[in-house]
């Protein structure tokens, strides 16, 4: 397990390095103190998870996240001293899987990382579940691949899981809380605002011409996957 920690505070880097080595035997902790260094280490080492501070010299965390998401679906947890929801939402909109607000306890951070990794390693559904073909969109459940007009769509683990639960209930409204529980668990404390961000991210990838085409919003209730008629 390779963990890349990106933060310009050397004390935080050292504390996290020691903490991970104590709690996660066999893990390798990589570190970077600037956005540019983070990009170099990321491409050199290909870590399994990234902890990414927002405020750094040079490229900030949001800029680094954009570059990572252009090439990789690796789990990314943002580390931020900002508690404003708008800052948290911005990170999620850019492709982060989770965020942790400083100051944080090491055990709480480990729990969030484990949760992100569990979502990334979600097993595929049983073989009895057929592939879904809806217009230009195809979902291969066994490989967890999504194809739009013959081109593979890169989804993060949470985005794929969201699409999976929507298409498995095609034609039915899935309530906000039901989706939140499926994606993060009842004890996680995720909000409808976070869910809205991930729905928006998913739509931008499977409905690139604008929409909604596949995912309908039922205001105040939830979301529904509506496949187009078979003749379209």
Percent above pLDDT 90 for the chain: 21
Helices within the chain (DSSP H only): 10-23, 35-45, 61-69, 85-93, 106-120, 157-167, 176-184, 192-206
In this structure, what are the phi and psi dihedrals at residue 181, rounded to the nearest 5 degrees? -65, -40
Sign of torsion, CA 35 39 45 48?
positive
pLDDT category of residue 230 using cuts at 50, 70 and 90: low
- Residue 36, pLDDT above cutoff 70: yes
In this structure, what are the phi and psi dihedrals at residue 40, rounded to the nearest 5 degrees? -60, -45
pLDDT category of residue 21 using cuts at 50, 70 and 90: confident
pLDDT category of residue 84 using cuts at 50, 70 and 90: low
- Residue 127, pLDDT above cutoff 70: no
- Residue 58 tokens read as 């040079």
The answer for residues whose C-beta is within 8 angstroms of residue 32's C-beta and 6 or more apart is 4, 5, 6, 38, 40, 41
Q: Which residue has the tokens 């007009």?
A: 149
Of 34-43, 140-149, 183-192, least confident by mean pLDDT is: 183-192
> Is the CATH number of domain 2-120 3.40.50.2300?
yes
CATH of domain 132-225: 1.10.10.10
Q: Are 27 and 20 in contact (CB under 8 A)?
A: yes
For the chain, give every domain's residue range.
Answer: 2-120, 132-225
Per-residue pLDDT reduced to its tens digit, 194-209: 899 999 989 989 886 7
Kindly compute the dihedral angle of the four CA atoms of residues 39, 42, 48, 51, in this order, to the nearest 10 degrees.
Answer: -40
For the segment 114-133, the average pLDDT, to the nearest whole number, is 63
Sign of torsion, CA 133 224 112 194?
positive
Per-residue pLDDT reduced to its tens digit, 157-191: 888 889 988 988 888 899 998 898 888 877 677 78
Return the pLDDT at 51. Answer: 93
Q: Which residues of 50-75 are buried (b: 16+ CB within 10 A; e: fewer)?
A: bbbbbebeebebbbbbeebbeebbbb
Q: Which residue has the tokens 């501070």?
A: 53
Return the pLDDT at 118. Answer: 78
Q: Are 206 and 166 in contact (CB under 8 A)?
A: no
Of 108-122, 140-154, 215-229, least confident by mean pLDDT is: 108-122
pTM as predicted? 0.60
CB atoms within 10 A of CB 190: 18
Q: Are 206 and 109 in contact (CB under 8 A)?
A: no
Q: Are 29 and 21 in contact (CB under 8 A)?
A: yes
Choose among 82, 119, 104: nearest CA to 5. 104
């Amino acid at each position: 397990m390779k963990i890349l920690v990106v933060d310009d505070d050397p004390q935080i880097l050292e504390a996290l390095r020691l903490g991970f080595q104590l709690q996660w035997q066999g893990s390798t902790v990589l570190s970077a103190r600037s956005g540019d260094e983070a990009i170099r280490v990321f491409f050199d080492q290909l870590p399994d998870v990234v902890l990414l501070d927002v405020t750094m010299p040079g490229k900030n965390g949001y800029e680094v996240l954009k570059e990572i998401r252009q090439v990789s679906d690796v789990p990314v947890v943002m580390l931020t001293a900002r508690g404003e929801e708008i800052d948290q939402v911005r990170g999620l909109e850019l492709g982060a899987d989770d965020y942790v607000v400083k100051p944080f306890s090491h055990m709480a951070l480990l729990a969030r990382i484990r949760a992100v990794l569990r979502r990334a390693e979600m097993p595929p559904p049983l073989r009895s579940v057929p592939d879904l073909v809806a217009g230009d969109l195809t979902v291969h459940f066994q490989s967890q691949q999504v194809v739009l007009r013959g081109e593979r769509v890169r989804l993060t683990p949470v985005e794929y899981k969201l699409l999976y639960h929507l298409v498995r209930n095609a034609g039915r409204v899935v309530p906000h809380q039901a989706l939140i529980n499926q994606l993060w668990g009842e004890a996680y404390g995720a909000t409808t605002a976070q869910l809205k961000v991930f729905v928006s991210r998913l739509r931008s990838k499977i409905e690139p011409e604008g929409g909604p085409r596949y995912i309908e919003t039922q205001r105040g209730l939830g979301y529904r996957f509506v496949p187009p008629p078979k003749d379209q």
